[in-house]
Structure formats: structure tokens, C-alpha cells
Amino acid sequence: MNKKIMAFCIAAFLVVGILFNSAAKTSAAKPEPTSAVSYTAPITLYWLAKARVPEAVEYVQYIDAEKILKPKSITQYERVERVNKIYQEIRYSSLNDFIEAENFTNVMDLGCGVSPRCLNMARQGINYVGTDLPDVVEVLNFYAPNFVKDDMRKYVRFEIADATDHSEMMNAAKSFNGKICIVEDGLLMYLPRDKQKAMLKNIRDILKEHGGVFVTSDFVAGEIFMGINKTIYGEEDATIVGKETQKVYEDLSKVFFSDTIFKSTEEAVKFIEEAGLKVEMRPLFSGKQDIMSIRDLNNRDIENINALMKQRFLWVMTAD
Ligand SMILES: C[S@@+](CC[C@H](N)C(=O)[O-])C[C@H]1O[C@@H](n2cnc3c(N)ncnc32)[C@H](O)[C@@H]1O
């Protein structure tokens, strides 16, 4: 009897051991971002998917974003989401629109996170290099076989490049043949001023070597976001929702935007010019745009947001 119990215990111990070991292997095989700022990437994708951007809906499934996100308790999630999905869709689509309208065939996406832009670009035959910090690139390369299928392989690559590191940036750009459209959405505000300057100087050096432009709406992110926010919630509530959103990102990234955002257009332009870039401001879209996440708003709100998109919020920069 004792022998039987002992044999059972040994068998049970072995089975548990094997299961535990294989679970550990599975989780070890699935990398997750480790730096605080990298956790801001999946939430961006999440909101793009909520906006029903088709390739975002698709991409969420490929990369297991819900697990990577490790959702924290976001207070007032619904009302924060209502504004953020519109903002994210407009920010994301405006860069894609620029790339297409200007017929670029090379795109370098700085701090690409888990942006579905790689799918959008590769399907148009545009060469796409997504760059980010090592932990994010590890995640991307792990999941890439799920979505970078045979015919797309020649168009999509992910490279480790801290945007503030000169040699990593030059290295990530070196495979491009011809001029490059460098894009960035949602990175600038996570860098302190000296790092922002380093990033701009690296961009300038890439543009000097390869030709092309750097384009982003991040220098006026607050204006775009609050424009949408006020349209939806009115002046007073928009301030509350703005603070709630800021808290979501600051809690995730441990970066405080009051230290990183520019207080005025003049301050930002001076900063850009000091880094050796010229800036031209354009409307967010080259023509009329169908933003999916505003379809269910009333006509007055749609008109307001369409008017907002005509403002010169897209900053196109070239090397001096
Ligand atoms: C808010 S997410 C935006 C991701 C993506 N651009 C999007 O719109 O979905 C910010 C991204 O910047 C990346 N990041 C932060 N600091 C960086 C740096 N110094 N160099 C490159 N990427 C950085 C983070 O890892 C993260 O993926």
C-alpha cells in the first residue's frame, strides 16, 4: 500500500514537473516588452483596432496584444477610449496618406511599437523598416512569422534602433535604396529635450545621406487631441478626459508630458531649426479622408473634426 502511495506520489511529482517545465518554456518563448515606455505601444494598437482600422483589427490577433498589454485599471475607460480611438486613427492614417500621396517607396518608422503600418505598407509594395528598443523588436521578430507572409517578406524588417543613438539609426537606414520617408507617431513625447534633439540630429544625418523627409504630427499632438476631445465632450469635460488620458500614458510609461511637450509652435520650430531641419506645415490629409471612428458622431461634430484635419498639423521636415 505504502509502495503504491509512494509510486503515485513520484508519478504525480514527475507529471507536475513536466507540465511546469513546459509552461515555463512556453512563457519564456513568448517575449514581452520590459521597458516601461514600451507598454504604451500595445495600447495604441488597441485603440486603432477599436477604431476598426482593418489592418489593426487583423494585427491584434497576430501578436496576442491583449496579453502583452497587461491591462492596468484605466478609470473611465469608455470615455477615454471614445476620444483616443479617433485621435489614434487620425494620427496613424495621416502619415500613411502622406507616404502614399508623395509616392514614397521607403519608410522608416521610429518607435514603431506594434503599429499595423507594416501591413499597410507591405501590401502596397512599400519597403518598411520598423525601429524600436530591443525588447520591442524582440517581440516583433517573435510574432513576425505570423503576419509577414512569403510575399511580404521582402518589404518588412524590424531593426533595433534607439532613435537617440546615432550609429543604430544610421545602421537601420542603410539598407534603403533611394530617399526615405521617416515617420514617427507617439515617440517624441516620451523623450526628454536632450534626447529629442539627438533624435532630430540623427534624422537630419539620415536625410543628408539618403534624401527624403521626416514627417510627424507629434509636435502638435496636444492641439489635435484636445480639438477632438472638445468636439466630443465640450470645453469643461474635455479637460477632465484630457487629464485621464495623460494619466493612462504617464502611469504606463513613467514619463511626464509636462517635461517633454512643447509649449508653443514657435518653441518647437526654433528647436527643429536648431537641429538642422527645415519645417513645412501641411493639413493632416492631402484630400478628403474617411475616418471610420467618426462615422457615428452627429453631423456637427463630424464637420468640426473635418475642419480640424484641415489645419496644418502635419509637420514635414527636410535636412537644411
Ligand atoms: C506610444 S508607443 C507608439 C508606437 C507606434 N508608433 C504606434 O503609433 O503604434 C511609443 C513607442 O516608442 C518606443 N520608444 C520609446 N523610446 C524610444 C527610443 N529612444 N527609441 C526608439 N523607440 C523608442 C517604445 O518602445 C514604444 O514602442
* Share of residues in the chain with pLDDT > 70 (%): 86
**214 vs 20, more confident:** 214
Which homologous superfamily does the CATH classification assign to the domain defined by 33-319? Vaccinia Virus protein VP39 (3.40.50.150)
The predicted model scores a pTM of 0.89
Average pLDDT in the chain: 87
Q: Which residues line ligand 1 (CB under 6 A)?
A: 37-38, 40-41, 44-45, 110-113, 115, 132-133, 136, 162-164, 185-187, 190
Residue nearest to atom 25 of ligand 1 (CA): 38
CA distances to 81, 111, 207, 279 from 114, in Å: 18, 9, 25, 28
Structural contact between residues 147 and 114, judged by C-beta atoms closer than 8 angstroms: no
Of 77-81, 153-157, 277-281, which range is least confident? 77-81
List the beta strands (DSSP E) in 127-268. 127-132, 156-160, 180-184, 212-216
Distance 189 CA to ligand 1 centre (A): 10
Q: Atom of ligand 1 at shortest distance to CA of 33? A: 25
Best of 50, 190, 250 for a ligand 1 pocket test (most atoms within 8 Å of beta carbon):
190
Residues 51 and 219 sit within 8 Å (Cβ to Cβ): no
* Predicted confidence (pLDDT) at residue 136 exceeds the cutoff of 50: yes
d(CA 77, CA 182): 32
Q: What is the pLDDT of residue 273?
A: 97
How many whole angstroms separate alpha carbon 235 and alpha carbon 229? 8
pLDDT digits (tens, 9 = 90+) for 256-284: 988 899 999 999 999 999 999 999 999 99
pLDDT band at 28 (very low <50, low <70, confident <90, very high): very low
Q: How far is residue 298's CA from residue 80's CA, in Å, rounded to a whole number?
A: 19
The pLDDT value recorded for residue 66 is 63
pLDDT at residue 5 above 90? no
260 CA → ligand 1 middle, Å: 14
22-26, 41-45, 242-246: least confidently modelled range: 22-26
Residue 63 confidence (pLDDT): 79
Kindly state the cell numbers that stand for 309. 484635419
Minimum CA distance residue for ligand 1 atom 7: 115
